[in-house]
Structure 1
Amino acid sequence: MEFRGLGFVPLFIAFWCTAWVAVSYTLTVIYGHAPLLMYISDTGNYYPENITFKIGFLGMSNANLFLALLQYNFILLHAEAFGARQPMIQRILLAMGITSCIGTAVLAMFETDFYPVTHRVGAFFAFACGCVYNLWQAILLCEVPGIRRAICHIRMVSSAMAFIGVITFIGCRVSVFTKLCIGDYEKIIEIISISTEWLMLLLILIQLVTCFQPMQITIPERDLQMQVITLPSITS
């Protein structure tokens, strides 16, 4: 017998993310609440698309929390490949993953029109902590036997690009910088900012898809029993 793979979990989250963003965006355009080129957050400012916005982000928050816990336990089952340092690193990464999920829930509950500061702080922690978490996990996963290096490299590149996107987005949204831009320059900055946000969403979807292969790896039952026995001493 074997410990069956759980690759369907990140694929389901990616499908969920794509579905609710598409529905929210379509409703926003149909009701004329925002132009075609809009921020993702613009789909959560008005009824009825704000309902799908909240449900979508809250669903992602809970699903990503579940995925982070799965990855935490998955790596610990392979702890012998990393040495004694791995459990402590995984605790730090799990904390970052949980922080990202909390940030996602905050930006879902506080609309950008009514609570701009709270919404942006939540978005920052959601994206920044999520990107660092995925990048670090991708680096560590390269050491797990059976995981394709190409998958790790794709995940590392997409995570690094997403983190750069976070920095670019913040730079575009800083009020002091924006006030210095007038006329066409202000429109250009706005377009870059919106495009960066949608690009980050695409990169997040890529990161989720690349989780499929690592989580499909099966562990022989005898190895699983051996790891479960040693797990309490590792985490204590």
Structure 2
Amino acid sequence: MFWFKQGLCFLPVFLVIWSSSTFIVSYIIALFRRDVDVIFPYISDTGATPPESCIFGLMTFISACAGIATIYARYKYVEKLSEQTAEVGQWLNEAALVFGQLSCLGMLVVATFQETTVPAVHDVGAVTFFVSGIVYTILQSVISYRAYPFGSTMGVCRARLGMAVLATVAFIPTAVCAAFVRQSILHRHKDDQDYPFHLASAVCEWIAAFSFICFFLTYIDDFKLFTLRVSTEYQQ
């Protein structure tokens, strides 16, 4: 049996590959059409102008759906895992589920409301995506350490913690520097007074986004160990 057919490990694999492709494809199209600059535009800049905005919206919607499924599957796995150890409380697992789903909701808002059309709503969605996503990775890291030696290995626990820390550290300058960016335009020039803030914010945004996405790679081994089934009950 191929490894990606074991259990539900295809879920995190698909999520990471598809989400990464979403950012990369929209960037390449926007770059080819000269809608953005080569050097680190904001992720949202690459999906602000048609036709890349249409592709970005569609692919992001699929990513959000895959994220919802993966996060819920992880929730059910931890719920089962908590039967073996009392260190993982149900409240902690439920909190991680809520923040994970909120992050997916933020992703949908970002895809639906382009920054050049409805910037206020777009920004709210982006903040929801990043903040909720980072909190989710932190909570899952805590769950992993509390569940050890059940579930993940110590190496996986450390990898999760490392990516959670990286995403957190990268998001802080993303938000701080973005507050000093005065121009909301797709093409920037080095002579712009706020260009250094724009560049720092954009670079850190890409790092934070890919840190959050790659966090789900650590689920592959766990997801090989279980499956989910839908139970149907017929009542007359």
* TM-score, scaled relative to structure 1: 0.83
1:196 aligns with 2:204: yes
1:187 aligns with 2:195: yes
> What is the percent sequence identity of the aligned residues?
24
Give the conservation status (yes or no) of the 8 Å contact 1:45–1:112.
yes
Compute the displacement of 1:146 (Å): 4.3
RMSD of aligned residue pairs (Cα, Å): 2.2
Q: 1:217 aligns with which of 225, 233, 236?
A: 225
Tell me which residue corresponds to 2:234.
none
Give the conservation status (yes or no) of the 8 Å contact 1:146–1:217.
no
Query: 2:219 & 2:88 partners in 1: Cα distance?
Result: 23
| Larger helix fraction of residues | 1
Q: Which amino acid aligns with 2:202?
A: I
Compute the displacement of 1:184 (Å): 6.8
1:116-131 equivalences under 5 Å are 116-131=119-134
Compute the displacement of 1:178 (Å): 4.2
Q: Structure 2 stretches of 5 or more lacking a match?
A: 1-5, 183-189, 229-236
Query: 1:55 & 1:152 partners in 2: Cα distance?
Result: 33
Give the conservation status (yes or no) of the 8 Å contact 2:81–2:151.
no
Compute the displacement of 1:218 (Å): 5.1
Query: 2:7 & 2:98 partners in 1: Cα distance?
Result: 24
Tell me which residue corresponds to 2:216.
208
1:50 aligns with 2:58: no
Q: Structure 1 stretches of 5 or more lacking a match?
A: 225-236
1:216-235 equivalences under 5 Å are 216-217=224-225
Equivalences, count? 213
165-174 or 184-193, which deviates more: 184-193
Q: 1:154 aligns with which of 150, 154, 159?
A: 159
Query: 1:184 & 1:25 partners in 2: Cα distance?
Result: 22
Give the conservation status (yes or no) of the 8 Å contact 1:124–1:166.
no
1:29 aligns with 2:51: no
* TM-score, scaled relative to structure 2: 0.83
Give the conservation status (yes or no) of the 8 Å contact 2:67–2:104.
yes
Tell me which residue corresponds to 2:14.
12
Tell me which residue corresponds to 1:40.
43
Tell me which residue corresponds to 1:67.
70
Deviations 1:7-26 (A, max 9, x none): 22101111101222221111
1:71-150 equivalences under 5 Å are 71-83=74-86, 86-142=89-145, 143-144=147-148, 145-150=150-155
Deviations 1:79-138 (A, max 9, x none): 123328621221221111111111111111000011111111101111111111112112
Compute the displacement of 1:164 (Å): 2.2
Query: 1:189 & 1:162 partners in 2: Cα distance?
Result: 19
